[in-house]
Amino acid sequence: GESVGLHLPTLSVQEGDNSIINCAYSNSASDYFIWYKQESGKGPQFIIDIRSNMDKRQGQRVTVLLNKTVKHLSLQIAATQPGDSAVYFCAKREQSGGGADGLTFGKGTHLIIQP
């Protein structure tokens, strides 16, 4: 079946450094990708999204890169802060003729910020 997979379950970075979280997907029909952040005891929180007609999108301290050729998605967080410690999920939605579609989530990467 279709899946969204993450390369590393845990990523540890020094406070102030940049971090990159990677994600691979298997279905080229996916038209929409999202990154979520989940802190302990809370629901996933939307960070940034990107559509398949784009290669890059930037937000505040975050950048998402989409490489459709190799079916790879990445989230870059600049100047990481202690509050960035969380589990990060990539998610994708399949292209459909209309209506809302549920998301398929990766397993998650635990980002740990070292002081």
Chain residues binding another protein by CB under 8 A are 32, 34, 36, 42-46, 49, 89, 91, 96, 98-108
The residues, any chain, with a CB within 8 Å of residue 110's CB and separated by 6 or more, are: 9, 10, 11, 86, 87
Residue with Cβ nearer another protein (5 or 16): 5
Q: Contact, 10 vs 112, CB < 8 A?
A: yes
Nearest approach in angstroms of CB 105 to another protein is 4
CB 64 to another protein: min, Å: 12
Q: CA 37, CA 43: separation in Å to the nearest integer?
A: 8
- Output 25 or 89, the one with its CB closest to another protein: 89
Cα distances (angstroms) measured from residue 2 to each of 38, 93, 101, 113 = 23, 11, 14, 31
Closer residue to another protein (CB): 17 or 46: 46
Least distance between another protein and beta carbon 43 (Å): 4
**What's the angle, vertex CA 59, arms to CA 57 and CA 77, rounded to 5?**
95
In this complex, which beta carbon is closest to another protein, that of residue 56 or of residue 107?
107
As measured in angstroms, the least distance from the Cβ of 53 to another protein is 12
Query: Which amino acid is located at 57 in the chain?
Result: R
